[in-house]
Structure 1
Amino acid sequence: MHDIRAIRENPAEFDAALARRGVAPISSQILAIDTARREKITRAEAALAERNAASKNVGAAKASGNDAEFERLRALVSQKKAEIATLDEEAKAEDAKLNDLLLTIPNLPYADVPDGTDENDNVEVHKHGTPPTLDFDAVEHFDIPAVRRGMDFETAAKLSGSRFVILSGAVARIHRALAQFMLDTHTGENGLTEINAPVLVRDEAMMGTGQLPKFSEDSYQTTNGWWLIPTSEVSLTNIVSSHTLDEDSLPRRYTAHSLCFRSEAGSAGRDTSGMLRQHQFEKVEMVSVTKPEESDAELARMTKCAEGILEKLGLAYRTVTLCTGDMGFGARRTNDIEVWLPGQNTYREISSCSTCGDFQARRMNARFKRAGEKKPEFLHTLNGSGLAVGRCLIAVLENGQQADGSVKLPEVLHSYLGGKTTIQPDGTLA
């Protein structure tokens, strides 16, 4: 949500920032509604003052026996009461119109975010590790002999349709181990608080983090109105919704492992093979709630937390800053982390870490109060994948594939697998 006062003060600057995201100028439309709303409020206040003045004089007119003045004043009070009611309703209607419009406008990028239209304009800022050199032709995860028995797309399609998978045996166990490893790292080393939160949320929660109203087709809604979360960012960030926090309780850093659900609207034909893009998947999410002056440093910290998971797994990756045309709706700055996938011979996104400024906090009325200050301020919120579990599984399998069809597993996972180090070509752990 945007601050209407900031738009009033700098409409050209507002339009220029949105233009970097490919959004047409809209400040004049916003300010026209705002002007109409404020005019109704001003007229209602003037009518209220007239009504109050008339009300005070009604008694005096009655006492003096001036019946004509008494009737005039009484009629004026009644007229102004009706006028105020009408103006209040009109002001509320304009306010709702303004709010509905502001809810559909994306966040403004920071000035130093690179301009661009799509992923081709993103800027690489960091690279770690060297993609493995294989002496055989790498295959994608679903074609590795050791994996085939543990990754069943046909039965999943029979149960649920396309973009679902059943994991079993060693593959399911490694998937579970990855999630546990991520949580243990984030809570034990990175200082995040583990949360187990609902995956069904109300409209207000989806509105607060920016999934509604504009992107309803990207998510699933139950027949009784709940939404299945597209990421636990929704649940975690809304923990502070409608709260005013004490300064000394910040920053708050949360992590959660949850099921996530996305309709993948608009992705028809993309990544249809394998489990790279699913309707149902699991993710370990990170959310931070901070003071404004700390949010940039917090984004760097969050990005390092996500990168650290890949480093412990021994996976090559690169980090890119997204351009203005590739950022998500609520972000002011985003760092994407892309892991090397030998089967595709390219880097693919495995984490997206974003700072939203006060954009989400305004939508959910989340504030904090500095020590010694009376007026609260809006919080800054950040979110990031730490990591997408399914995509991490893909990376582990593809990078660990061997010429004989087996898969060598990262050392950091061995203790989670009872000391097992390899998936044999027949799909068993050894």
Structure 2
Amino acid sequence: MGALVSDTEPTHPFQVHNFRAYWASRLTMTLAQDAMLLVIQWQAYNLARDSGMNIAQGAGQLAIIGLLQFLPLFVLTPFSGLAADRFDRRKLALLTILAQFASAAALLGFTASGTVSLPVLFTVAIVLGIARCFSGPALSALSPNLVPKPILPTAIALSSISWQVGRLVGPAIGAVLYAFEPSLPYLMASALFAVSGTALALVGKVPQPAMRKDQRPIGAIIDGLQYVGRNKMVLGAITLDLFAVFLAGANALIPVFARDILHTDETGLAMLASATPAGAILAGLWFSFRPLSTNVGPKMLWAVAVFGLATVIFGFSTSLPLSLAMLFVIGAADMFSVYVRQSLIQLHTPDDKRGRVSSVSMMTISASNEGGDAFSGALAYVLGPVAAIVAGGVGALVTVAVWSRIFPVLRTTKTFDPPDDLLEGSKP
């Protein structure tokens, strides 16, 4: 499955040098990304409100930021998946880190000089969307080649922890640094992107699957999409996340709830932004020591249902402690679902298609996250933030009920192991 550091079969992903470097790179990159994103959202919302816009119009600016991040992902994701299967995945990810470093440095200059504006923030959102479009498939397809198959679910849990720790600590540090000096979060992000690139460069050579030489780019893209369509397990797991998180995107409206519903400051903002990843980290740590092995499909459905219910309660809450508790539950439930979904996708997909399948997964994740941010902001503009969040949580619950019917394989899947003939039969 990948280049190991010795002839002895490792029993834990951290025994593999390449995985340790990969994990450090993903952690520092996510720290920088999420610190930047929270500050961008906070700056955009405050610029809008201070310029005379009302709460709904301010939420609309957050919708624009989500949309501008999502559109590049939606348009370019099929090509980014093909790139992850055809080119060196490590080098491709390094290029995306460089683009994000340049974005952080640009915002550092604009903020320090007091010239940051909504158009500047919108432009950076587009660049970040493009970078994440290509980094997601490259890194997701790279990770299964770093460790042996028996410990891949543990590696996925640890990889998710690095992502969730970044989501927890990044916004918290970003908000605290912003309170001292608005440009400091971007200085930190620039330094973290530099560390991330260095760590990824330390990953040694890993196997790159050979693609069919007679297959043209468009044909290769279509082949990857057809594989997702044929594999009901992969399709059901991907689209369950797409619709549930798209509808119930509470995190997008955290600046609105912090300022105008819970009436808190940057400290409260940092706590709200960190509550969801805190729950996710706890769940991820649990799975890194106690990997899930039974009834994985039904448990994923229940996790998404809990996610939707907690979102409804968060929407109604006017208490900071209750809101923090519900965001914590949302994060833990989402991590449970992510762990199961990513393990199923990676283990049910041939290596020569992992880049393209990961790109489809990345597109749906982006549709649910950035697209969900845009949807939540737009819905808040029309209905108000409370009604938008409550309606989204109810929508997630409905999604679970519908998906358990139209994808019965999600209800019947007991383990992560694919059928014996699945991977062989799917190869060209």
Q: Which has the larger radius of gyration?
A: 1
TM-score (norm 1): 0.24
| Structure with more relative contact order (C-alpha pairs < 8 Å, separation 6 or more) | 2
- Is the helix fraction higher in 1 or 2? 2
- Is the strand fraction higher in 1 or 2? 1
TM-score (norm 2): 0.24
